[in-house]
Amino acid sequence: MNWERLDTYAHLSDRAASILLDAIRTDPHAVLGLPTGRTPVGMYDCVITECTHNYHCFRDVRTFNLDEYVGIPHDHPGSYAAYMEQHLFEFIDINPANAHIPDGAARDPRAECVRYEAAIRDAGGLGLTFLGLGRNSHIGFNEPGTPFTSRTRVVELSESTRIANEDLFADHKVPTRAITMGIGTILESRRIVLLASGANKREAVERLRSGIVEESFPASALWGHPDVTVLVSD
C-alpha cells in the first residue's frame, strides 16, 4: 500500500485528478470506478478545470459508480446519479451510455445488481477505482461486517451512515437501502486510489495504517490488494 500525505485538501484533489487524467491519457478506453460523497468533489473540480484548459477526451472512457440509494429516481437531488451529473458528467464529453450507475429505482433491485456486475465484466473489469472512506471505514456502502468476497448487492444502511449523509437530503429522509459494489468487486479493480481528508476521517485512517485486517473494518480489505494508493490530507 502506497501512502501519500498531502498538506491540504486542494493538493489531495489535484493529485487525485492527475492520477485520473494520466490514466485516461494512457488508455483512452479506461474503465474507471468512481465514488461520491464530499471528499471527491475537489478531484472532480480539478478534472473539469483541466479538461477546460487542456482538452481531455472522455469519449471512450467507461465509468462505474460504486453505489446508489435504493427507492429514489435518478433525478432525485439526493441520488448519486444527480451528484455525478452535477459534479462531473455535465462538464465532460463522456458518452452517457458509458457512464454507469446502479439504478436505484429498478423494479427488481436484486436483478439490477446482477446486471451491474455483468456490465462491469463486459467492460473488461475495473481498471482504476477511486474510493472515499466512511467514518466507520465503509467503502462504497459496504458497512462493517461485510465479507471481503461480497459482490454487488442491496444493503441496509447503518444509522451512522444515514446520519452522516443526512444533509444531502433536503427533507433529511435518507433512504434505508442502497445498491453497492461488493468489496470483492472493488478488489478486482487493477488499481485502487483511496481518498481520505479531514479530522473526522483521522481515526479510520490511523486504523487502516495499523495494518490490522478484519471484516469489522471494511477498508482493511485493501491490504489484500497489490496496487493501492492512499491519499491523505487534513
> Segment 148-177, which members bind ligand GLP (CB under 6 A)?
161, 165
Active site annotation includes 143: yes
> Segment 93-112, which members bind ligand GLP (CB under 6 A)?
none
- Please give the grid coordinates belonging to residue 185: 468487486
DSSP string, the chain: -EEEE-SSHHHHHHHHHHHHHHHHHH-TT-EEEE--SSTTHHHHHHHHHHHHHS----TT-EEEESEEESSS-TTSTTSHHHHHHHHTGGGS---GGGEE---TT-SSHHHHHHHHHHHHHHTTS-SEEEE---TT--BTTB-TT--TT--SEEEEPPHHHHHHTGGGSTT----SEEEE--HHHHHTSSEEEEEEESGGGHHHHHHHHTT---TTSGGGGGGG-SSEEEEEE-
Interface mask toward ligand GLP for 12-41; x: CB under 6 A:
-----------------------xxxxx--
Smallest distance from the beta carbon of 93 to ligand GLP, in angstroms? 25
Q: Which of 44, 83, 116, 141 binds ligand GLP (CB under 6 A)?
A: 141
Active site annotation includes 200: no
Of 51 and 101, CB closest to ligand GLP = 101
Q: Judge residue 88's burial from the number of C-beta atoms within 10 Å of its C-beta, 0-12 exposed, 13-18 middle, 19 or more buried.
A: buried
Q: Which of 104, 132, 175, 218 binds ligand GLP (CB under 6 A)?
A: 132
Considering 56, 87, 100, 138, which one is annotated as catalytic? 138
Q: Which stretch binds ligand GLP (CB under 6 A): 43-51, 89-97, 99-107, 127-135?
A: 127-135
Cα distance between residue 159 and residue 34, in whole Å:
24
Active site annotation includes 136: yes
Considering 65, 112, 143, 165, which one is annotated as catalytic? 143
> Segment 188-227, which members bind ligand GLP (CB under 6 A)?
none
Active site annotation includes 60: no
Total binding residues toward ligand GLP, as defined by CB under 6 A:
14
Considering 56, 67, 112, 165, which one is annotated as catalytic? 67
Q: Is residue 63 involved in binding ligand GLP (CB under 6 A)?
A: no
Considering 4, 103, 117, 136, which one is annotated as catalytic? 136
Query: Which residues form the interface with ligand GLP (CB under 6 A)?
Result: 35-39, 66-67, 132-134, 140-141, 161, 165
